[in-house]
Chain A
Amino acid sequence: NAGVMQNPRHLVRRRGQEARLRCSPMKGHSHVYWYRQLPEEGLKFMVYLQKENIIDESGMPKERFSAEFPKEGPSILRIQQVVRGDSAAYFCASSPPPGATEAFFGQGTRLTVV
């Protein structure tokens, strides 16, 4: 009974490179959420996706960040031209279809921009 799987666990990128973070939801879950945790802060909502649809991206920075959840395969959070301020822990959570309020989190990807 695999939980939410995120990879890589740790990612180091130089300024200006692209970062791709992957999230495979729990089996049977069709909803994916991405959150970001900056050092010494709480988690901040970024984006909410269903298969092939972005439902709510109100927490996503307007530039350089994008997310997708294709029909097949994991959800991808993509950060283009990374800057030092993008260094954070990025967590993915999944939940069953609407009505379920409990979301299950992955172990996160720690992005370090050098």
Chain B
Amino acid sequence: DQQVKQNSPSLSVQEGRISILNCDYTNSMFDYFLWYKKYPAEGPTFLISISSIKDKNEDGRFTVFLNKSAKHLSLHIVPSQPGDSAVYFCAAIAKAAGNKLTFGGGTRVLVKP
């Protein structure tokens, strides 16, 4: 039973354009959401997060949107850069259950120059 799903396994975007990554979850106990970026042979690197009491959080080129009623969040990267090419993981936490992360399957992003 996959509680966090990233339905697009891959995304290709032109440099300078917007990348939109989507994530859906089923567990209503999740109250904190994070996006991680991962390069091959490296560990995940934290990008941006959002609490369930908010619907938007912005940090530079990265913006995360949360729609609680739809149990959906998205990550916008604008403008996309070649160095953004990586696998992006959506993750969720139910704070009452400790801070263990439940990850989606990842979306591989390729930014073309």
Contact = CB atoms under 8 A, between A and B. Distances in A.
A25 interface: no
Interface residues of A, number: 28
Contact of A91 (B44, B93, B97, B100): B44
Interface of A: 4, 6, 31, 33, 35, 41-45, 48, 55-56, 59, 91, 93, 95, 98, 100-108, 110
Interface residues of B, number: 25
A108 B99 contact: no
What is the interface of chain A mostly: helix, strand, loop, or mixed? strand
Nearest to A110: B41
8 contacts: A41-B105, A56-B100, A93-B101, A101-B32, A102-B49, A105-B44, A106-B43, A108-B41
B49 A35 contact: no
B29 to A, nearest CB: 14
A42 B100 contact: no
Contact of B101 (A41, A43, A98, A107): A43
Contacts of A103: 46, 99, 101
